[in-house]
Chains A and B, each alone.
Chain A
Amino acid sequence: GQQVMQIPQYQHVQEGEDFTTYCNSSTTLSNIQWYKQRPGGHPVFLIQLVKSGEVKKQKRLTFQFGEAKKNSSLHITATQTTDVGTYFCATSGSGGYQKVTFGTGTKLQVIP
């Protein structure tokens, strides 16, 4: 099955600094999704990318899908304490059963 590796595993940043997490696969992905899990909470869907080279923005968050559709990144500009949590990338296959494979996650800690 598809596997996605995510780096780094942990990241501590000073509030106001930028943050980036990367998701990599050895195979071409049909799509990439990003989820955020706040401490003690459940994962919440953020966005999905499907096109090669696609870039989407949500306020201070920028999501990018690589040209070869084998990697993706999530970049947060000027982090805030509300950005604290674990960010997961994920990918799903085609067909009626949409099995979503999650990356290992990047835990972000923002120091005020």
Chain B
Amino acid sequence: SQTIHQWPATLVQPVGSPLSLECTVEGTSNPNLYWYRQAAGRGLQLLFYSVGIGQISSEVPQNLSASRPQDRQFILSSKKLLLSDSGFYLCAWGGGDTQYFGPGTRLTVL
């Protein structure tokens, strides 16, 4: 069965610091991968998606970037965090029409 891992689970970072969140998937090959952000009490905002290694599409322009260095690895980065980057970051892989989410990283920017 497929498993999706995310780390860290929680993170507190100062404004202006860099960010790197990692997501890995097991049990499937060449998955579609996604990064979402969920602000407190809000819905899911799609940030990036990837259909293969090195292929990244951005949905919302902002100070975040994503990379896919390996088939089952998806990384979300920022060079300088903003207060508005706080939120719950969810990685997901697409199985057919559905999305399977990782446990998420709760990021607080102070």
Write the chain B residue with the least CB distance to A93.
B97
Interface residues on A, range: 20 to 34
Contact A100 B94 (CB under 8 A): yes
B65 sits at the interface (CB 8 A): no
Tell me, rounded to whole Å, the shortest Cβ–Cβ distance linking B3 to chain A: 13
Contact B97 A42 (CB under 8 A): no
Contact B43 A97 (CB under 8 A): no
Give Cα A102–Cα B98 distance, bound, in whole angstroms. 11
Query: Which residues of the other chain, B, contact A105 by a CB distance below 8 angstroms?
Result: 42-43
Give Cα A33–Cα B97 distance, bound, in whole angstroms. 9
A60 sits at the interface (CB 8 A): no
Write the chain A residue with the least CB distance to B94.
A98
Contact B43 A103 (CB under 8 A): yes
Contact A96 B99 (CB under 8 A): no
Contact A44 B43 (CB under 8 A): no
B27 sits at the interface (CB 8 A): no
Interface string of B63-99 (1 = CB under 8 A from A): 0000000000000000000000000001000101111
Contact A42 B90 (CB under 8 A): yes
Contact B46 A43 (CB under 8 A): no
Contact A43 B90 (CB under 8 A): yes
Contact A102 B100 (CB under 8 A): no
Write the chain B residue with the least CB distance to A91.
B97
Q: Which residues of B contact A (CB under 8 A)?
A: 32, 34, 41-44, 46, 49, 51, 57, 90, 94, 96-104
Q: A45-B98, A99-B46, A105-B42 are in contact. List 13 more A-B contacts (CB 8 A).
A: A31-B97, A43-B99, A43-B101, A44-B101, A45-B100, A48-B98, A88-B44, A97-B32, A97-B57, A100-B34, A100-B94, A102-B43, A103-B43
